[in-house]
Chain A
Amino acid sequence: MSTESHMRRVTAINNGTVIDHIPAGCAITVLKMLGIDGRRSTPITLAMNVPSKKMGGKDVVKIEDREITQSELDRLALIAPEASVSIIRAYSVAEKLVVNLGVEIIGVARCCFSNCATWGDREPLPHRLKVHSIEPLELRCHYCGRSQDMEAIIDNLL
């Protein structure tokens, strides 16, 4: 079965956003990072552990009546660097976006090091994690220089 037919397994949407190629099991975190919860009145469709040739398994999220922006998508780089986004208008793909990791991730996650100058969330300057290497992804805090524990990054999302 092709990816397309898997996609069709969940309802097609009229207007909104489809986020594909989310690592299996991360869909809920993705929604959380986008500030989307079940209290919205518009439908949200989640498909988890969908077989994927490229990723083995993946999650797919469809959000009706909301178009996510490039900067919102870039926030997802930390947990879903391969995510691809289709903006849907009138049942067809109007725009495609890919995650842009950039050189620095600002204001998305706090430094994991408990003795960092930014610790405690009272300091007003933004958390800044610099992309030290991409493969494997290594991030270092702009302030303290510590290499971030990528396993714990979800716990440190802002």
Chain B
Amino acid sequence: MASLITMDDLTNEEIIEVLDNAERLLPVARGETYLPLLEGKILGNLFFEPSTRTRMSFETAMKRLGGEVVNLGDVKTSSVVKGETLFDMIQMVDGYTDIIAMRHPRQGAAQYASDSARVPILNGGDGAGHHPTQTMLDLFTIRQAHGTLEGLNVALVGDLRFGRTVHSLSHALVRFGCTLTFVSPESLSMPDEIISDLKRHGADITETADLSSVIPSADVIYMTRIQKERFPDEDEYARVAGIFKLCAADLSPAKGGMIVMHPLPRVSEISPDVDNTKHARYFEQAFNGVVARMSLLCRLLNVEVPAIISSNGGEN
């Protein structure tokens, strides 16, 4: 595999392999052991729009494996605004680095970069397009909790129209035979194009605007942030934002093993009192971004992850 642009670049078997490797890398991600698998390699972090979380977790992943990172720096002062094409920018960074992680406001930018570059590209988000490394960490988190990805009941809640995270994740979950429930206000519902694609792949999908009705049967409740700027007026936003607020008390009918996830940052959609319940997984999920990306960096750089990694220093 040259690059990771969409989840279609990985087969189900390859996804499982990446998750298995990620699991083995957990002690390295936690800093319990140092395993410089990527020593001498340089990651180019090309974030054309702000993203603290994704950029930092790529950087942490690379450094935990002994690699180096160079950053694009502030987009406002770099050559992007001076009218340099993406092609030219990629030519330059391609010469400086062994692998590139990028986020770009335009859809298709990662594919475009991959066609322009010799080094592998990891898509860290392209407009309303794809965000496969987020999907991998989401899958990792789900499998960690349930021991499998097969046949789970997953409810995706909030902004399903503009959220690229939920688009990529839905596609991946359908490939593993999960049943999906889309919970959103009408104005932020999953795009028809995506629903028809999912159904063509045999997806079992229910759409609703009632969050409380999905709690008892869900194995995973995946919350997303509803952004104020998506709404024409404040009142409409307030009404919708209020409906999709999850509190600890709401979770009493939930299955014991049900997990609540969120790509973060959250605003008001998950009340802080959920944090202390056994269901909350969003902070682990954020941490899992590091292992998932470590595993993907190894894969794209053709570096094998050792079968056994002890937590007291390197390979066995």
Query: Which B residues are CB-close (under 8 A) to A143?
Result: 107-109, 111-112, 115
- Interface presence of A122 (CB below 8 A): yes
- Interface presence of A2 (CB below 8 A): no
A146 nearest in chain B by CB position: B107
Cβ–Cβ contact B108 & A118, under 8 A: yes
Query: Which A residues are CB-close (under 8 A) to B111?
Result: 117, 142-144
Which residue from B83, B106, B115 sits with its C-beta under 8 Å from A116?
B106
Cβ–Cβ contact B107 & A144, under 8 A: yes
Cβ–Cβ contact B104 & A117, under 8 A: yes
In angstroms, Cα B104 to Cα A124, docked, is 18
Cβ–Cβ contact A125 & B115, under 8 A: yes
Query: Which B residues are CB-close (under 8 A) to A113?
Result: 107
Cβ–Cβ contact B108 & A123, under 8 A: no
- Interface presence of B96 (CB below 8 A): no
- Interface presence of B126 (CB below 8 A): yes
Cβ–Cβ contact B116 & A145, under 8 A: no
In angstroms, Cα B162 to Cα A17, docked, is 49
Which residue from A111, A115, A125 sits with its C-beta under 8 Å from B116?
A125
Q: Which of B99-150 contact A (CB under 8 A)?
A: 104-109, 111-112, 115-116, 126-129
Which residue from A111, A117, A122, A147 sits with its C-beta under 8 Å from B109?
A117
Query: Which A residues are CB-close (under 8 A) to B83?
Result: 122
Query: Which A residues are CB-close (under 8 A) to B128?
Result: 115
Query: Which A residues are CB-close (under 8 A) to B109?
Result: 117, 143
In angstroms, Cα B83 to Cα A142, docked, is 24
Cβ–Cβ contact B85 & A145, under 8 A: no
Query: Which B residues are CB-close (under 8 A) to A124?
Result: 85, 87
Which residue from B6, B112, B193 sits with its C-beta under 8 Å from A117?
B112
Number of interface residues of A (CB under 8 A): 18
- Majority DSSP secondary structure for residues of B touching A: mixed
Query: Which B residues are CB-close (under 8 A) to A122?
Result: 83, 85
Given A123-B112, A125-B115, A143-B112: A115 and B85 within 8 A (CB)? Answer: no
CB-defined interface of A15-32 with B at 8 Å, one 1/0 digit per residue? 000000000000000000
Query: Which A residues are CB-close (under 8 A) to B126?
Result: 117, 144
Query: Which A residues are CB-close (under 8 A) to B75?
Result: none
Query: Which A residues are CB-close (under 8 A) to B193?
Result: 147
- Interface presence of B86 (CB below 8 A): yes
Query: Which B residues are CB-close (under 8 A) to A118?
Result: 108, 112
Query: Which A residues are CB-close (under 8 A) to B104?
Result: 117
Give the residue among A122, A141, A143 with the most B Cβ atoms within 10 A: A143
In angstroms, Cα B91 to Cα A123, docked, is 12
Query: Which B residues are CB-close (under 8 A) to A147?
Result: 193
CB-defined interface of B72-89 with A at 8 Å, one 1/0 digit per residue? 000000000001011100
- Interface presence of A119 (CB below 8 A): yes
Query: Which B residues are CB-close (under 8 A) to A146?
Result: 107
In angstroms, Cα B105 to Cα A142, docked, is 17
Cβ–Cβ contact A123 & B107, under 8 A: no
Cβ–Cβ contact B115 & A144, under 8 A: no
A113 nearest in chain B by CB position: B107
Query: Which B residues are CB-close (under 8 A) to A141?
Result: 108
27 contacts between A and B (CB under 8 A): A115-B127, A116-B106, A116-B107, A116-B108, A117-B86, A117-B104, A117-B106, A117-B112, A117-B126, A118-B112, A119-B106, A123-B86, A123-B87, A124-B85, A124-B87, A125-B112, A142-B111, A143-B107, A143-B108, A143-B109, A143-B111, A143-B112, A143-B115, A144-B108, A144-B111, A144-B129, A145-B107
Chain A contact residues, CB within 8 Å of chain B: 111, 113, 115-119, 122-125, 141-147
